Amino acid sequence: MLQDTSNSQPVDPASATTEVDPNAAAVAAPPSTTDAVVTAPAEAGAAPAGAMPTGITDTDAEAFQQMGFDHLLVGFDVVGWVVFVTLVVMSIGSWYYTVVNILSNLRVKSRADRVVRTFWETTNAQDAIHYMQEQPKTEPFSKIALDCAEAAAHHQRSEGSRLAEALNRSEFIDRALRQAVTRESGRLESGMTWLATVGATAPFVGLLGTVWGIYHALIRIGQTGQASIDAVAGPVGEALIMTALGLFVAIPAVLAYNAFVRVNRVTNSQFDTFAHDLHDFFATGSRVGESAAKR
* pLDDT at residue 160, rounded to an integer: 62
What's the whole-model pTM score?
0.67
In the predicted structure, residue 198 carries a pLDDT above the cut 70: yes
C-beta of residue 233 within 8 angstroms of C-beta of residue 66: yes
* pLDDT at residue 172, rounded to an integer: 84
The domain ranges of the chain are 74-294
C-beta of residue 289 within 8 angstroms of C-beta of residue 276: yes
* pLDDT at residue 1, rounded to an integer: 40
| Rounded mean pLDDT, 41-46 | 43
Contacts of 48 (CB under 8 A, 6+ apart): none
**H or E element that contains 173:** helix 169-188
In the predicted structure, residue 250 carries a pLDDT above the cut 90: yes
pLDDT band at 246 (very low <50, low <70, confident <90, very high): very high
* pLDDT at residue 137, rounded to an integer: 85
* pLDDT at residue 123, rounded to an integer: 82
The amino acid at 262: R
pLDDT band at 102 (very low <50, low <70, confident <90, very high): very high
Q: Which has the minimum average pLDDT: 140-149, 234-243, 284-293?
A: 284-293
| Rounded mean pLDDT, 238-266 | 91
Contacts of 167 (CB under 8 A, 6+ apart): 155, 175
